[in-house]
């Protein structure tokens, strides 16, 4: 009787927790753990920055260099303005996908303003390292892309898409589709395409309207800006209405 093996409890069993049968538990964990942190840290709302991971603030020859520093400046202005806002808690916290490039720039600007900033990383075959400017208590890593997308969008009151590639386009069009279909009210989140010349060259919205695949009203779900000061003035005016009513978008 002395050599009886005590069985492992299910929630302490790594083999089970990483098995296909436990996928539901892992998905729920990626919902509940961020939720508990946001509630504990009183993160009321966010401003989501999207953009290329390949932007380099040191390479002045790159087209993306100027956008890197403009993202840093816009994040700085938003954070400096948002820190003293009421109600109690953290409002319009700068949030990114945690990587380098535009994401690093936005997190960096928020830190320069003295604010907290969120990074939501994703585990990939070629690991993406989180940038150094994310607040440690607001650093997340996800296994499931759809859970990461949920949390990127969930508390966002504004989405600012800087020039980017596949990942940026994916996240931008996901947000536009949610607003277009009414899953998110178009007055519940403001979408900015930053860098009008880039976006008009990359995406021909007029061709979509002409083809009848979107309506002129659907092409008005976003606003173009190309200067940090003008983008900030627009956001400051629009976001003030959320200062009394704050909560998840989806």
The pLDDT tens digits of the residues spanning 129-177 come to 899 999 999 999 999 999 999 999 999 999 999 999 999 999 999 999 9
Question: Would you say residue 201 lies in a domain?
Answer: yes
- For residue 182, give the CATH number of its domain: 3.40.50.450
Looking at the domain assignment, is residue 15 inside a domain? no
Domain range enclosing 225 = 49-241
**What pTM was computed for the model?**
0.93
Q: Is residue 151 a part of any domain in this protein? A: yes
Cβ(9)–Cβ(17) under 8 Å? no
* Residue spans of beta strands (DSSP E) within 59-170: 93-96, 117-122, 139-142, 156-161
* 36 located within any domain: no
For residue 137, being part of any structural domain is answered with yes
Residue 87, domain member (yes or no): yes
Within a domain: 39: no
> How far apart are alpha carbons 15 and 231 in whole angstroms?
49
54, 92 in Cβ contact below 8 A? no
Examine residue 182 and state whether it is found in any structural domain, yes or no: yes
Query: How far is residue 172 from each of residues 25, 168, 190, 241, measured CA to CA in Å?
Result: 29, 6, 12, 23
Name the domain count of the chain. Answer: 1
Position 247 pLDDT exceeds 60: no
Mean pLDDT, residues 188-214:
97
Kindly report the average pLDDT of the chain as a whole number.
94
């Amino acid at each position: 009787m002395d050599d009886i093996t005590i069985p492992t409890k299910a929630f302490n069993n790594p083999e089970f927790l990483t098995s296909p049968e436990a996928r539901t538990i892992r998905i729920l964990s990626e919902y509940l753990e961020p939720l508990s942190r946001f509630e504990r840290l009183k993160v009321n709302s966010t401003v989501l920055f999207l953009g290329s991971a390949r932007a380099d603030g040191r390479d002045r020859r790159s087209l993306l260099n100027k956008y890197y520093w403009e993202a840093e400046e816009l994040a700085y202005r938003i954070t400096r303005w948002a820190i003293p806002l009421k109600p109690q808690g953290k409002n319009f916290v700068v949030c990114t996908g945690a990587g380098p490039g535009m994401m690093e720039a936005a997190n960096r600007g928020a830190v320069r303003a003295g604010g907290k900033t969120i990074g939501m990383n994703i585990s990939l075959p070629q690991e993406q390292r989180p940038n150094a400017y994310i607040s440690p208590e607001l650093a997340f890593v996800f296994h499931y892309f759809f859970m990461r997308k949920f949390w990127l969008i969930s508390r966002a009151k504004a989405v600012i898409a800087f020039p980017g590639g596949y990942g940026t386009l994916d996240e931008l069009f996901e947000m536009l589709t949610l607003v277009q279909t009414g899953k998110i009210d178009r007055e519940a989140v403001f979408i900015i395409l930053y860098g009008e010349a880039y976006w008009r060259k990359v995406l021909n919205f007029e061709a979509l309207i002409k083809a009848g695949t979107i309506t002129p009203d659907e092409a008005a779900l976003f606003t173009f800006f190309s200067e940090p000061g003008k983008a900030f003035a627009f956001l400051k005016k629009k976001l003030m209405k959320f200062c009394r009513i704050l909560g998840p978008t989806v």
